[in-house]
Structure 1
Amino acid sequence: MVEHLAATGRYRILQKLEPRKTAEFVRPGFPSNGVILDTETTGLNFRNEEIIEIGLIAFTFNERGEIGDVTGVYGGLQQPNKPIPAEITKLTGITDEMVSGQMIDMKAVRTMVAPADLIIAHNAGFDRPFCEVFSSAFSDKAWACSNAEIDWSARGFEGTKLGYLIGQAGYFHEGHRAVDDCFALLEVLDRKTDRDPFTPFAELYLNSQKSRVRIFAENSPFDLKDHLKARGYRWSDGSEGRPKSWWIEVDEIDLAGELHYLRTEIYRYPEADPPTRFLTAFDRFRG
């Protein structure tokens, strides 16, 4: 029936995503350890909101970015210090009753995170700050963002939200619960196609190893702010230890070209030397 419907060209068939089994014996040839992570929280600001659920999947991989075996799975709820806002319950399905008396097993979390060579989140800029406030186990780890560090558009995807990626990959799943989302992301990252056998995870792993540079266009002329914005610069209000200025993050190989742009088009002064900060996977996505 599935083959018949697909052959008509009038239907798209989605397959329910089945979680991978945890391997009893880990295959050789995959010496590195990765962790896919997802959190649900009481809000957006890591400084005054809390994690109410965490999901982790540990897996092995090799230097070519090939995924091996699932080696561990953990999901846990935690009661926050305040009621869960109604909009968060609507988004996640997590209620105050579900988290009442619950506490995340930090021993289990540390056991999975400690050997990790890379932690992957689909919005690492959101998850990493929450996790580092939650536990020192997440500090000094390399992080990668499967949203920002994979060119999904070049792979034919119409959006970067996990729901879009799963649907276009031919699956459906129970979204917005942490472990379910982790398994969904694992399948998308390990997806091979005839058009592109280089998997999204291989691309992500390669990009995570690149050095990036954050450039701050400090004291740039106010009347040129729209030029900076159009080029991809974002505004920093001076909090979180950053200069109060427009800023952009580029690959290290693009640093010279970006500085040339600033000196010729923005500052119009060849000796201009805007502040820069070099970042690796150990630094990126921090709060």
Structure 2
Amino acid sequence: MFQDASELAAMAEALGRSTDYRVLRRLVPRAACQSAIGQDCRTGILLDTETTGLDQPNDEIIELGMVKFDYTPDGRIVGVRDTFSAFNEPSAPISAEVTALTGITNEMVAGHKFDDAAVTAFAESAVITIAHNSAFDRRFVERYWSLFEHKAWGCSMSEIDWRKHGFAGSQLGYLLNGAGYFHQAHRAVDDCHALLEILDFDLPTTGAPALAVLLDTARRKTVRIWAEHSPFELKDSLKRRGYRWSDGTDGRPKSWYVEVGECAVDDELAFLKAEIYLRDVEPRLQTLTAFTRFSSRI
């Protein structure tokens, strides 16, 4: 039996009031509008890339999506200002594996090249760039456009403890469902629209939007601690502690490392002294901010 939109909306509203049902609504991207920008309003960018692989120095970006939005200092999203979506034909054919993962074919990108001036013009007014895996996306876009080297960055995947806030995990689909939506992602910009709604979602644990948590985390300094020359047989202890391995191919030390908040540095140094080196140590420390975090330059 045919039902119009108003009837379906009423049914969804009724189901949503019941504790026995949970309603997911199709994500409809917000329309762009030139909202009034006052002293208390700032502009950010949500960014997503699709690439020919995971090797940042050698693989290429084949799609770039961005959504420019306005927000208040306390993390309330005011509206969407503009969107950007573009393909780029790589120097070698896209592999079947990448096409299966991204849905992007060689035919779709044929003849397309990024307009560098357009990318720069779109992004230059943003005070922060946010991606759902900034450790991946920042390294790629910095190689293409130096503008992003000088931007503050936030990561919606790693800089919010989603499980603590009641979500099943940090994957974009999980988060979108948790915020009450579903979408059929086709383009990088579609994932940016999805991320916008996730960051605008009021967390049940705080009553504030997720963006507020991300901004608070991004504004804090962190310290990267390098456990250089640590005994090989203790690598599992370091892994359990959250250390990651750097193979040294990108110019950084060939070493295990961890990134912690400033207040946790003393505890981490005590762990290294008591559990790893069994002596006093002065490991290499790097202080990171939103301007340097996630960059391959650091």
Q: TM-score range by the shorter chain?
A: over 0.9
The one-letter code of the counterpart of 1:280 is T
Q: 1:221 corresponds to which residue?
A: 231
Q: Matches of 1:30 and 1:98 in 2, distance apart? A: 41
**Offset of residue 4 of structure 1:** 4.3
Residues 152 and 159 of structure 1 are in contact (CA less than 8 Å); yes or no, is this contact kept in structure 2?
yes
Q: 1:145 corresponds to which residue?
A: 155
Structure 1 unaligned spans of 5+: none
The one-letter code of the counterpart of 2:110 is S
**Offset of residue 196 of structure 1:** 2.9
Identity of aligned residues (%): 48
Which of 185, 190, 196 is residue 200 of structure 2 equivalent to?
190
Residues 66 and 83 of structure 2 are in contact (CA less than 8 Å); yes or no, is this contact kept in structure 1?
yes
The one-letter code of the counterpart of 1:126 is F
Residues 203 and 210 of structure 2 are in contact (CA less than 8 Å); yes or no, is this contact kept in structure 1?
no
**Offset of residue 213 of structure 1:** 0.6
* Matched residue SS, 2:150: coil
**Is the aligned partner of 1:285 residue 2:286?**
no
Residues 67 and 84 of structure 2 are in contact (CA less than 8 Å); yes or no, is this contact kept in structure 1?
yes
Q: Matches of 1:233 and 1:159 in 2, distance apart? A: 20
> After TM superposition, where is structure 1 displaced by more than 6 Å over at least 4 residues in a row?
none
Cα 1:181/1:30, change in 2 over 3 Å: farther
Q: Matches of 2:228 and 2:203 in 1, distance apart? A: 44
1:39-70 per-position Cα deviation (integer Å, ceiling 9, x unaligned): 11111112111111111111122222222221
**Is the aligned partner of 1:178 residue 2:193?**
no
Which of 236, 240, 250 is residue 240 of structure 1 equivalent to?
250
Structure 2 unaligned spans of 5+: 1-10
Cα 1:29/1:194, change in 2 over 3 Å: farther
**Offset of residue 224 of structure 1:** 2.1
TM norm structure 1: 0.94
Q: 1:52 corresponds to which residue?
A: 62
**Is the aligned partner of 1:249 residue 2:259?**
yes
Residues 27 and 69 of structure 1 are in contact (CA less than 8 Å); yes or no, is this contact kept in structure 2?
no
For 1:1-287, list aligned pairs within 5 A: 1-6=11-16, 9-28=19-38, 30-193=40-203, 195-270=205-280, 272-287=281-296
Residues 26 and 71 of structure 1 are in contact (CA less than 8 Å); yes or no, is this contact kept in structure 2?
no
Residues 35 and 78 of structure 2 are in contact (CA less than 8 Å); yes or no, is this contact kept in structure 1?
no
Q: Matches of 1:267 and 1:139 in 2, distance apart? A: 36
Count of matched residue positions in the alignment of Structure 1 and Structure 2:
286
**Offset of residue 165 of structure 1:** 0.8
Q: CA RMSD in A?
A: 1.7
Q: Matches of 1:94 and 1:21 in 2, distance apart? A: 25
The one-letter code of the counterpart of 2:293 is R
Residues 35 and 112 of structure 1 are in contact (CA less than 8 Å); yes or no, is this contact kept in structure 2?
no
Cα 1:260/1:240, change in 2 over 3 Å: same
Deviates more, 1:222-231 or 1:129-138: 222-231
TM norm structure 2: 0.90
**Offset of residue 3 of structure 1:** 3.7
Residues 52 and 98 of structure 2 are in contact (CA less than 8 Å); yes or no, is this contact kept in structure 1?
yes
